[in-house]
Amino acid sequence: MKRVVITGAGTINALGHSVPATLEAMREGRCGIGELEFRDVERLAIRIGGQVRGFEAEGRFNRQQMSLYDRFTQFTLTAAKEAIAQSGLEFHGELSAKAGVVLGNSGGGMQTLDENYRSVYEDGKNRVHPFVVPKLMNNAAAGHVSMQFNLKGPSFTVSTACASSNHAMAQAFQMVRSGMSPVMITGGSESMLCFGGVKAWEGLRVMSKDACRPFSANRNGMVQGEGAGVFVFEEYDHAKTRGAEILCEVIGFAMSSDAADIVMPSKQGAARAIAGALQDARVSASEVGYINAHGTGTAANDKTECAAVADVFGPHADSLMISSTKSMHGHLIGGTGAVELLACIMALRDGVIAPTIGYEEPDPECALAVVPNEAREARVEVALSNAFAFGGLNAVLALRRV
For the entire predicted model, the pTM comes to 0.98
* Residues annotated as catalytic (active site), given as ranges: 162, 294, 331
pLDDT, position 44: 98
pLDDT, position 330: 98
Distance CA 385, CA 116 (A): 36
Backbone angles phi, psi at 378, to 5 degrees: -165, 145
Helix H or strand E encompassing 389: strand 382-389
pLDDT tens string 353-376? 999 999 999 999 999 999 999 999
Beta-carbon count within 10 A of 94 CB:
9
pLDDT, position 128: 95
pLDDT, position 237: 98
Through-space distance between the first and last CA atoms of the chain, rounded to whole angstroms: 18
What DSSP string runs through 286-316?
Answer: GGEEEEE----S-HHHHHHHHHHHHHHHGGG
352 beta partners: 377
pLDDT tens string 52-61? 999 999 999 9
The three-class DSSP label of residue 218 is coil
Whether 231 contacts 366, CB under 8 Å:
no
pLDDT, position 358: 98
**Closest C-alpha to 285, from 317, 258, 259, 255:** 317
Whether 207 contacts 223, CB under 8 Å:
yes
Axis crossing angle, helix 110-117 with helix 71-87, rounded to the nearest 10: 160
Give residues with Cβ within 8 angstroms of 168, minimum separation 6: 102, 103, 104, 157, 158, 186, 187, 188, 338
pLDDT, position 285: 97
Tell how far CA 45 is from the center of its chain: 26
pLDDT, position 310: 98
Indicate the DSSP class of residue 119: I
Kindly tell me the sign of the dihedral angle through the C-alpha atoms of 179, 181, 187, 188: negative
| Whole-number CA gyration radius for the chain | 20
pLDDT tens string 9-49? 999 999 999 999 999 999 999 999 999 999 999 999 999 99
pLDDT, position 345: 98
Alpha-helix residue ranges (DSSP H) falling in 203-254: 236-241
Residue spans of the chain under pLDDT 70: none
